Structure 1
């Protein structure tokens, strides 16, 4: 399907509103099928992936953004990390003793918060915490932008789980341009309110079947729409044997050698892509002598 795994940015000039639209398919599969997740977890990760991609477009610098859910409910933990060049990865943890998981967003989570972390390559890290006390993830993100950024924002998230082996997700974000941000109350901004109501008429069938240009025309054909070049979105994991070695450098060498003596090797697995990195006694000596050089990625 065309226009999938691409982020599309557009501007509604007359309404002073910027917008983004993303649809994920190929980039989503390594996340939702990395383990045998229940469909409810797949749906949650899919929504988070679409949302994180939309937020990635807001970054004005090189770095990473992460959306992490922490909960005391059936879902304990879920995270999607993305980079400024639109690569992402994610993972979730849930109560595997449950034979059936609830369907709704609120029932999956209990006493939950969403932690939004922005990590620039240069500069200070920023972290915001959002209470997940609304019926949907989209509504929680809207509240975050209204309170923390003082920007009226509309977030739409959709998923298509009709094919068990082919999850799809989509998202749209509309936001008042900063020059118009003095008014964050959507109800009092008639132009933004009008655009939001147009967006709410979009059906899931249209979102997942129509080309992006047709979607924008279907919604905003009476508006002045300026569309920017799209950006590809892909799955990528930043793990490496070198990063694993850097972590081992903080562990006492004798302790590492003892593990190798007992188990034959040190094996480290990435929770995101499940790559395995194996270290022997020669590696450990090199790591602690500052001479370790990554030569391959063990699978």
Structure 2
């Protein structure tokens, strides 16, 4: 089944809800960055949550999230947009530990428990919206829950999980975001909290073939859920050979001459997708000529 997410409301609009299956998305990131198991879980949770946050935007709006803790993974970054396109990277992909005392991948140890989570939204305005909160646990989901409450003043519950096979490929990944609107009653909130506490790990549900819709039905009861939209999600990077050439052209003739004479070409690798680009001497000479006609 292809990855997709569901947007929904519950209890006649008193709750806003998102649920996602992101297995292929996370596997593509793992393959591109050669992440080990614990690093895969950390990056996968970031990208899963970012995908849902991206679909809260409109049109060509986009956002970048960055989790910068004091653990060995280093900064983890993900980009997403309103079209369900996501990309991301982890600074140190080769991080893995023994399972935690709970028998789970020790994401907290990998990310670290001190640092910051930041969200930058490009809404097409002159100034970007930026929100930043301290890391509260390093488990990623809890850090985003705190971000929504503190930075956006929206009481939320965020859950994301990743299961990894022995060969480090991704077995299952998914998540949810539940947001409480002003019309929610205390009884509704209590019921939701109890259901979230009792539901099995999301990644386990995805592994069992439980769909994003069914996850929401388990949280709220099918009769209380109104599905608004289904949206495919995928790994997508906006880098291209043309963009790399434009960036090199912008360095100016002197810098390009140095690349030609000293390096015999130019190489660049995209942080987000790990795609490698090479420009040979002829390419560089063409860039110089193109600059002369501008």
Given the two structures, how large is their TM-score scaled by the length of structure 1?
A: 0.83
1:149 aligns with one of 147, 152, 174: 152
Question: Which one has a larger percent helix, Structure 1 or Structure 2?
Answer: 2
Question: How well do the aligned residues superpose, as a CA RMSD in angstroms?
Answer: 2.6
- Mark the runs of 5 or more structure 2 residues left unpaired by the alignment: 100-104
Matched, 1:208 2:211: no
Partner of 1:184: none
Q: Is the 8 A contact 1:76 1:95 kept in 2?
A: no
Q: Distance in 2 between matches of 1:83 and 1:133?
A: 26
Does the aligned pair in 2 maintain the 1:115–1:130 contact within 8 Å?
yes
Aligned to 2:286: 283
Q: Which of residues 101, 108, 112 in structure 2 aligns to 1:106?
A: 108
Q: Give the corresponding residue for 1:128.
A: 131
Q: Is contact 1:17–1:192 with CA below 8 Å preserved after alignment?
A: no
Report the counterpart of residue 185 of structure 1 in structure 2. Answer: none
Instruction: Give the superposition deviation at 1:132.
Output: 1.0
C-alpha distance in 2, partners of 1:200/1:290? 64
Q: What is the alpha-carbon distance in structure 1 between the residues aligned to residue 222 and residue 255 of structure 2?
A: 68
Kindly tell me: are residues 287 and 122 of structure 1, through their superposed partners in 2, closer, same or farther at Cα, counting changes over 3 Å?
farther
1:99: how far off? 8.2
Alignment of 1:1-299 (within 5 A): 2=1, 4-14=2-12, 16-94=14-92, 103-108=105-110, 109=112, 111-134=114-137, 136-162=139-165, 164-177=168-181, 179-180=182-183, 189-204=186-201, 205-209=204-208, 210-221=210-221, 223-273=223-273, 274-279=275-280, 280-289=283-292
Per-residue deviation, 1:180: 3.7
The count of aligned residue pairs is 281
Indicate how the Cα distance of structure 1 residues 196 and 94 shifts in structure 2: closer, same or farther if over 3 A, else same: same
Moved over 6 A (4+): none
Query: Normalized against structure 2, the TM-score is what?
Result: 0.85
- CA deviation map 1:21-61 (0-9, x unaligned): 00112222221221322211101011001110111122134
